[in-house]
Amino acid sequence: AQSEAATGKKFVKYWFHSEFLLVDGRKMSKSLNNFYTIDDVKKQGFEPLALRYLFLQTHYRTFSNFTWRALKSAQEGYKNLKEMVLSLKKQKQRQSLSEEKLAQLDNLRSEFIGALNNDLQMPEALAVVWSLIKSNIPSMDKYDLILEFDQILGLNLAEVEEEKIPEEIIKLAKERKKARENKNFKLADEIRKKIKDKGWEITDINGEYKINKERFNL
């Protein structure tokens, strides 16, 4: 009321009365020493948008119970979603759509909007995104519709890019591979630890290796 009197403009159009956020089954409060900030989330190695992804999985009228385990699971889900989107983004060739595919797109869009119109059922809306990804709709059209949905979800999917591996980590990985080839497994383990200490992890696959950013420090 004070804001509207001061500015002459309507303050808000809608009020949402959401349930409390719980932490490990208890109400979050400073007195219980279970109060976390975004900085705390980042210090544990999680992306802030993974927290948003976690909250999107619960309806606003339902209690949301935050645990680090739940956030870890959400981080994995968000990471998988970004990897899927990046894969779609790399596909540059657009195909002409059949009537069947056009109908699929329209149905998925209607399902997404329907979830929003049904008292903001964000978990249902998120499920539509995964249905779209798993569909047989051509990649570029999937990508376009996902970005359309993300204008509501706010997961910054349009900005997804491949994470560049530092040269230092690449060099260490090569040294580790050489040590393994020479059966110097003690040295290989020491190099793996160096890589891990710098926030990366290395996975051995059929004589080769894969480097990924380590996400969790729990």
Tens of pLDDT, residues 174-217? 999 999 999 999 999 999 999 988 878 898 888 889 888 775 44
- Whether residue 90 is found in the same domain as residue 151: yes
Residue ending a domain, choose from 132, 159, 186? 159
- Closest-CA residue to 155 (of 178, 131, 135, 126): 126
Determine the angle formed by the axes of helices 139-153 and 68-89, rounding to 10 degrees. Answer: 140
Can you tell me the mean pLDDT for 50-78?
A: 95
- pTM score, two decimals? 0.75
- Say what the pLDDT of residue 218 is: 39
Q: How far is CA 32 from the centre of its chain?
A: 29
Residue 100 within any structural domain of the chain: yes
Can you tell me the mean pLDDT for 144-166?
A: 93
Examine the pLDDT at 154 and tell me if it is beyond 70: yes
- Whether residue 148 is found in the same domain as residue 184: no
- Say what the pLDDT of residue 147 is: 97
30-44, 105-119, 182-196: which range is least confident on average?
Answer: 30-44
Query: Which backbone phi and psi does 200 adopt, to 5 degrees?
Result: -125, 160
- Whether residue 153 is found in the same domain as residue 174: no
Residue 46 within any structural domain of the chain: no
CA distance 210 to 173: 9
Please, which pLDDT band fits residue 1 given cuts at 50, 70 and 90? low
- Residue-number span of the structural domain to which 206 is assigned: 167-213
Residue 180 within any structural domain of the chain: yes
As for how many domains the chain has, the answer is: 2
Classify the C-alpha dihedral 128-84-101-147 as positive or negative. positive
Percent of the chain with pLDDT over 90: 65
- Closest-CA residue to 48 (of 37, 59, 58, 63): 37
- Whether residue 155 is found in the same domain as residue 120: yes
Q: Which residues contact 125 (CB under 8 A, 6 or more apart)?
A: 56, 112, 115, 116, 149, 152, 153
- Whether residue 94 is found in the same domain as residue 145: yes
Examine the pLDDT at 75 and tell me if it is beyond 90: yes
Residue 7 within any structural domain of the chain: no
- Whether residue 130 is found in the same domain as residue 96: yes
- Say what the pLDDT of residue 165 is: 87
- Whether residue 92 is found in the same domain as residue 151: yes
CATH at residue 142: 1.20.120
- Whether residue 140 is found in the same domain as residue 197: no
- Whether residue 148 is found in the same domain as residue 190: no
